């Protein structure tokens, strides 16, 4: 576990600050969703995964259980399994059991989630070599894999949906250089009412997840956001095929971050996340454009979610 670190480095904080200042300076204010995942954000996301309305995790778990033998045949036993955005690693456990990988490399920007998951895995699979890597997959990473053993990239959870189409294309092309095979979890287009409920849960956990971003910016960057002056706002944008999450200012006010002052009109929003939903054909076309040829698709019985097996 040599590659684990504790706390953000001065450089990471400087990049975070730059991203926040740039995002809040745009005409449509925005913040990158990767910053949701501090320790509190990762815990809130784990609660989201267990909500009745958030079908995503259950659908992917169900399809992975249902098609595990075929998925394992596709990936191959004894491979080096590299997982981007590994989080809690609930589905990873199924794959690890079926594949018995030579090494498992969970990669996550959330050091707390990564550390907790790696500890749990070491207890549960004493035979498994776990090499966690704390890092941002939107930048080049030095992944500790051996030559000679095939690598498989696993990117579950529909985290790819949080990237724009251009970013997803770039990510898939980059992954092609890391491994010849890839397993990607993709949330499918469906009844907008189902989508709406999943991102507007009754218990308000998604709202707390969204608002936590402001609390994190206050704590780590010394801003003076008042989260009480914002409300969670999520809706399905059918033209773009995505859920958009925003934080909407309830009244006119301004926020300070160092020497910067950001003015908010009443009703103005900060766009905090896109969660793109694909049809199988749309995702197949995106993968083909990124240079993957073979495409296998496994879905759950209700057709809510798909796992794509891509071959470079």
**Which residues of the chain form contacts with ligand AVI (CB under 6 A)?**
48, 56, 157-159, 161-162, 199, 206, 273, 275
Choosing from 110, 111, 175, 299, the residue that interacts with ligand SAH (CB under 6 A) is 110
Q: Does 113 bind ligand SAH (CB under 6 A)?
A: yes
Q: Does 57 bind ligand SAH (CB under 6 A)?
A: yes
126 — phi, psi (to 5°)? Answer: -60, -25
As measured in angstroms, the least distance from the Cβ of 32 to ligand SAH is 8
Rounded distance between C-alpha atoms, residue 269 and residue 231, angstroms? 9
In the block, which residue shows the tokens 């199988």? 280
As measured in angstroms, the least distance from the Cβ of 186 to ligand SAH is 12
264 binds, among ligand SAH, ligand AVI, none (CB under 5 to 8 A by kind): none
For residue 52, give both structure tokens.
């009745």
Q: Taking the CB of residue 46, how many other CB atoms lie within 10 A of it?
A: 16
Q: Does 109 bind ligand SAH (CB under 6 A)?
A: yes
As measured in angstroms, the least distance from the Cβ of 33 to ligand AVI is 7
Rounded distance between C-alpha atoms, residue 311 and residue 13, angstroms? 37
Using the minimum distance from each CB to ligand SAH, give the nearer residue, 87 or 309: 87
Strand ranges across the sheet with 151-155: 133-134, 103-108, 80-84, 151-155, 181-187, 305-311, 295-299
275 binds, among ligand AVI, ligand SAH, none (CB under 5 to 8 A by kind): ligand AVI
Name the 3-class secondary structure at 187: strand
Question: DSSP assignment of 94-110, as one string?
Answer: HHHHHH--SEEEEEES-
- Pick the piece of the chain touching ligand SAH (CB under 6 A) from 22-30, 37-45, 230-238, 283-291: 37-45
Residues of this chain that interact with ligand SAH (CB under 6 A) are 34, 37, 42, 45, 49, 57, 85-87, 91, 107-110, 113, 136-138, 156-157, 159
């Amino acid at each position: 576990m040599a590659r684990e670190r504790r706390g953000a480095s001065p450089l990471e904080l400087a990049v975070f600050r730059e991203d926040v200042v740039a995002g809040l300076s745009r005409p449509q204010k925005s913040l990158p969703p990767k910053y949701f995942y501090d320790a509190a954000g990762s815990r809130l996301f784990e609660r989201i995964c267990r909500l009745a309305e958030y079908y995503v995790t259950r659908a992917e778990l169900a399809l992975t259980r249902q098609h595990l033998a075929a998925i394992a045949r596709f990936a191959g036993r004894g491979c080096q399994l590299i997982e981007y955005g590994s989080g809690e690693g609930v589905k990873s456990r199924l794959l690890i059991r079926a594949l018995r990988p030579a090494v498992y490399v969970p990669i996550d920007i959330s050091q707390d989630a990564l550390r907790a998951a790696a500890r749990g895995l070491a207890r549960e699979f004493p035979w498994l070599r776990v090499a966690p890597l704390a890092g941002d997959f939107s930048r080049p990473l030095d992944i500790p894999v051996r030559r000679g053993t095939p690598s498989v990239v696993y990117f579950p959870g529909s985290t790819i949906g949080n990237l724009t189409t251009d970013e997803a294309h770039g990510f898939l092309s980059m992954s092609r250089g890391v491994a010849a095979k890839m397993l990607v979890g993709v949330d499918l287009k469906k009844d907008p009412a189902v989508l709406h409920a999943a991102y507007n849960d009754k218990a308000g956990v998604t709202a707390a997840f969204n608002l936590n971003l402001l609390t994190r910016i206050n704590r780590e960057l010394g801003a003076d956001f008042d989260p009480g002056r914002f409300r969670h706002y999520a809706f399905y944008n059918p033209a773009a095929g995505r859920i958009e999450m925003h934080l909407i200012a309830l009244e006119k006010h301004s926020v300070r971050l160092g020497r910067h002052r950001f003015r908010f009109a009443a009703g103005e929003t900060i766009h905090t996340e896109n969660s793109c939903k694909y049809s199988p054909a749309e995702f197949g076309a995106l993968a083909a454009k990124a240079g993957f040829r073979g495409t296998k698709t496994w879905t759950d019985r209700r057709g809510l979610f798909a796992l794509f097996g891509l071959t470079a």
